[in-house]
Structure 1
Amino acid sequence: MSRLNLLLWVLLLGASSSWAAEVIDEVDYVELAALLARDGESQKAADALAKVDLAAEGVDLAKYHTVAGLVALDLKQLAQAVESFAAAISAGQVDPLIHLYRAQALFGLERYDEVIKAIDAAGDAVSGLSGAWLMRAHANWMLDRKQAAMDTLAEAAQRFPANTSFQRRQVFYLIEAGLYQQAADLGRDYLQRVEGKPEDFVAIGTALRRARSFDEALGFLEQARLQHPQDDAISKALAQTWLEKGNAYAAAEILAEVAERERSLFAESAELFRRAGHPMRALMLNARVEDSERKLKQRVGILVELKRFEQVAGMESELYRAGLLADEDLRYALAYAFFRGGNFEAVERHLSALTRSDLFRKATELRRLMQDCSGQRWTCG
């Protein structure tokens, strides 16, 4: 149970320890609901509250609405929780935590301006609760009061020096704001204080990459990879950094390793090897791609690059069965492969199906070449 929950249940049940020991003629459903809710039986607590006659003499309305709000909050009935907490305040509930719970419900409803007002209403009584500071900061951020959010986190970090969550949140806010270098600087300081989670390394490494500090990002992510060798998110971030630095081969090697665990990446690693000038390695990885459509399309491109035009032409039936000849790039690749093999009839069959203007121009040039070597087709190969 959280500290907030414990504090409020002490308020609600302070005099209830004797309740179970007393023999009473009638069930006090408000007390019963409070006990059930405290024990995590929120739905049963709601059922008990439904039996309360609010018009009956002696019903503690402040307590009733407080319990109803807590139950609704636990059941994710946020709008009802907001109404119940407001009713509790109107009925005389004076404990400041009621405002913080109302803020929590409003936060879930994304009514951020009201969240801040509710926290303000709680006053100094909640200033020692880190959750209240985080909630205020995020509400300000979502209201586009970015400086207020950062100031709140900075003040909270001073108030709770052992709590690093405020600095961590600052890092992610800076990344979201596009202030990548500042995020990276603060992130490095944060990671010197704590044993960061893998996602922290990814976020800070990504911030460095976006700030175009590639060498620093690579060193940072390589170190993170040594600490978390099985975390694929770090490896992917490292591969992306190598790629943006211009080293497709290094990126391909990393992704090929990750693909052994995440098979959907075989196609991407194959493409990177192709771009890096290693088509044979690309072809080997392409054989392990499980998405048949993507596999066939990629295979055509790799075979064309390897100048294996006979193999490309031999894929015509397979591409037709897969329904891929609607892709005009594949159509043109087949036409060119047949051209290199001297099968002009097949070339024309595929060229006549092209409609895209860029490919139509290429088709015109290919027809001109066929005409030039029509007497000696072997010279077109």
Structure 2
Amino acid sequence: MKKFLQILLLISLSASLVAKEKDTLVDHLAIASLLIYDGKYDKAKDELLLVDKKADNFDAAKYYTILGVLASKTDDYKNAVSNYTKAIDATKTKVFKAPKIVHKEKYLFSIGSSEKKDTAPEFDAAKVKKEKLEKLYMYLSQSYFKIKEYEKTAKSLDLAGDKGRERASLFALRAECYWKIKQYSNAIDALNIGSNLFPKNTNLLKQKFYYFADLGLYQAAIKNAKLYMDKTNADANEYIILAQLLFEAKQVDEAIKILEIAKAKFPSSAKSKILLGHVYLKKDMPRTTAYMFKHAAYNDTSYLKDAVEMHRRIKDYPHAIFLNSQIPDKVEKLKQKLALHIDRGEFAKVIGLKDALNRYNLLKDDNIRYALAYSYYMSKDYNSAEKNLKKIQDTDLFKKSTIIRANIEKCRNNSMECI
């Protein structure tokens, strides 16, 4: 019996040792990494819980890096920051050793006259550590940006060394971070450094001219905008932005040149024509403005209203009526048609619109009600004129209506007064 118990104890100890050995052979960190890669985040989290942090071979740098990646993948960026920071601290103190080299089996006979010896590159622990830290700082910067810690984002990018300077977009990100915390000079400096390192990149120039414009530094904005346009195929919108900057800098003639180029280069751009039209209107050139608005309306019907109004102002009624007929908005179309008839003294046609005005509830507008009443007055239908004038509530229009009423009384008393 005693012997039997000893055998059982030995079996139990043996099983325990096998289990322990088996457990130490399982690389929970490697499995967690694979699970994260496959998008199985819950399982990765469970696997990381099995890691023995007290073990002699515990790799803190790797462990916290994987925890940081897992946190960022699940949008838990505050936790990601915490774990990446721990990973950085652990990496700084970690001793990096050269990987074990697996030698190929030597055969008795080899093909060829000379035997090649395996030459492994010299292991540089400092370089490996530097690369690991740079990568971690890049991860950290991304997480800081997500939680809107913009100053720390920029600082982490700087600490990322070569990796933090390897793409132009990283300087754009630095600049944006500084801009958000109102460190404007640092933002411009970041773009300047980026432009020097990546002279072919045009997005940095574009970002710079937007910043200068926001700061009201129009000359600097214009300079960078022109540099940008020289280097890239700028679209119509970018020409418009440059023109607007020129207006702000009171360089109207330069703005006109830019918009004329945009009009020729982008014939389907309605905005460039509309903006150009407004500039010509300020220069007291209403006919040119009407022409611009009309051509803008051909590209975008939302500008038909402006085109009709401009042609009405210059009394080009045939064009105004033609353009009015194309307005898709029935209410807007009716209101402008009314204005055109009033302008031309076509009062009978205004009265003819009464049913349509009622149908679209436009007579609730006192201005339109007054226009109808005035048309009745001019058509000598005094009863209808008075009936509509009485419904007017607007103070200024009510004063005008009293003058018409007085005239109506004169006309009734002496018809010769209204010939």
TM-score class, shorter: 0.7 to 0.9
Q: Distance in 2 between matches of 1:108 and 1:281?
A: 55
Alignment of 1:290-305 (within 5 A): 290-305=328-343
Aligned to 2:86: 90
Quote how far apart the aligned CAs of 1:239 are: 3.1
Task: In structure 2, give the amino acid aligned to 1:30.
Answer: A
Mean Cα deviation higher: 51-60 or 254-263: 51-60
Structure 1: tracts of 5 or more residues without a match: 1-23, 37-43
Relative to the length of structure 1, the TM-score reads: 0.79
5 Å-filtered alignment, 1:35-184, equals 35-36=37-38, 44-46=39-41, 48-57=43-52, 60-72=62-74, 77=75, 80-91=76-87, 92=90, 95-123=133-161, 125-184=163-222
Distance across 2 between alignment mates of 1:96 and 1:26: 25
Structure 1 residue 370 corresponds to structure 2 residue 365: no
**Counterpart-to-counterpart distance in 1, 2:46 and 2:281:** 65
**What is the 5 A alignment of 1:233-272?**
233-272=271-310
Give the length in aligned residue pairs: 346
Summarize the Cα distance change of 1:379–1:118 in structure 2 as closer, same or farther, 3 Å threshold. farther
Greater Rg over alpha carbons, structure: 2
SS in structure 1 at match of 2:315:
coil
Structure 1: 4+ residue segments shifted above 6 A: 24-27
Give yes or no for contact 2:270–2:297 (8 Å, CA) kept in 1. Answer: no
Gaps of 5+ in 2: 1-25, 53-57, 92-131
Question: Which amino acid in structure 2 is aligned with residue 313 of structure 1?
Answer: I
Query: Which residue of the partner structure matches residue 41 of structure 1?
Result: none
Indicate if the aligned counterparts of 1:82 and 1:102 stay in contact, CA closer than 8 A.
Answer: no
Q: Deviations over 1:256-276 (max 9, x none)?
A: 223233222211211222233
- Tell me the distance in 2 between the aligned counterparts of 1:47 and 1:256: 62
Q: Provide the rounded CA distance (Å) in 1 between the counterparts of 2:160 and 2:231.
A: 32
Q: CA deviation at 1:26?
A: 8.7
Distance 1:155 1:26, change over 3 A: closer
Contact preservation (8 Å) 2:218, 2:248: yes
Aligned pair 1:335/2:373, yes or no? yes
User: CA RMSD of the aligned region, Å?
Assistant: 3.0
| Residue 188 of structure 1 pairs with residue 190 of structure 2 | no
Contact 1:153 1:170 survives alignment (8 Å): yes
2:33 aligns with 31
Q: Could you tell me how far apart the structure 2 residues matched to 1:352 and 1:83 are?
A: 72
Matched, 1:345 2:383: yes
Cα deviation digits, residues 149-179 of structure 1 (max 9, x gap)? 2232223222322222222111111222333
Q: Which moved more, 1:102-111 or 1:83-92?
A: 102-111
Identity value in percent: 24
Mapped to 1, the partners of 2:30 and 2:295 lie a distance apart of 64
8 Å CA contact 2:392–2:398 kept in 1: the answer is yes
Equivalent-residue separation in structure 1 for 2:314 and 2:143 (angstroms) = 53
